[in-house]
Amino acid sequence: AQSVTQPDIHITVSEGASLELRCNYSYGATPYLFWYVQSPGQGLQLLLKYFSGDTLVQGIKGFEAEFKRSQSSFNLRKPSVHWSDAAEYFCAVVPSGGYQKVTFGTGTKLQVIP
Amino acid sequence: GAVVSQHPSRVICKSGTSVKIECRSLDFQATTMFWYRQFPKQSLMLMATSNEGSKATYEQGVEKDKFLINHASLTLSTLTVTSAHPEDSSFYICSATAGGLGQPQHFGDGTRLSIL
């Protein structure tokens, strides 16, 4: 069965500092990969997705993620964090080759300090 | 584009009542909609998958008679929590997809359900 691991439950960074959120997946083939962000009391917003091709994908709000097949990772990055980026971030996986249910990671809560 | 509207955003009701939550795709046709439940400080737990015009597929451990799902059109799915009790209090989130390979899910803003 597929699984998604986000090793960091909680991360604190200073405003303006760079950010990297880790995501590792376990699946037999390369799945479709997503990052979502959830602000308190709200639903999830899609930041970016990877299907195939260029392993570095650009998303909204200045986020990017890099797919590394050898490491089964899809880490999310941002060069300079803003206070408004404080939220919970979820990595998600869907098996390629047909639509099936999404498997979410447990989430990483990002705190931004001034 | 790809806006999903969920209503109501918050509901408080007495134990024993039934509560209906609506999920609408505003600018696309959603062939598949999903209902999730999220407990505090946890990830989303998929409750059921619904395809327009078909019966919903429930995940293991989810009572289908307790959580009634109707997906009558390509833009609307409803979740009815029947005879709600305090343990049903939670944050419920819907999502919708237009279908197709790897199409992302687009999420509603969630419904905070509190049963007194």
How high is the pLDDT of residue B64?
Answer: 92
The mean per-residue pLDDT over the stretch B29-56 comes to: 87
Confidence (pLDDT) at B101? 61
The structure tokens listed for B93 are: 């989130």
Amino acid identity, position B87: E
DSSP output for B21-84: EEEEESSS--SEEEEEEE-TTS-EEEEEEEETTSPPEEPTT--TTTEEEEEEETTEEEEEETT-
Q: What is the mean pLDDT of chain B?
A: 90
Interface contact B46-A102, CB threshold 8 A: yes
- Across B11-31, b (16+ Cβ under 10 Å) vs e yields beeeeeeebebbbbbeebebb
Q: Does residue A97 belong to the interface with chain B, where contact is any CB pair within 8 Å? A: yes
In DSSP notation, A56-97 reads EEE-GGG-EEEEEGGGTEEEEEESS--GGG-EEEEEEEE-TT
Gyration radius of chain B over CA positions:
13
pLDDT tier for residue B105 given thresholds of 50, 70 and 90? confident
Compute the radius of gyration of chain A from its Cα atoms: 14
Give the pLDDT band (50/70/90) at residue A88: very high
A15-27 tens-digit pLDDT: 999 999 999 998 8
CA distance A10 to chain B (A): 11
DSSP A102: -
Beta bridge partners of A24: A5, A73
Question: Which residue of A98, A99, A105 is in closest CB contact with B43?
Answer: A105
Name the pLDDT band for A100 (thresholds 50, 70, 90).
low
| Averaged pLDDT for residues A72-76 | 96
Asked if residue B104 has pLDDT above 60, the reply is yes
At A40 the pLDDT is 84
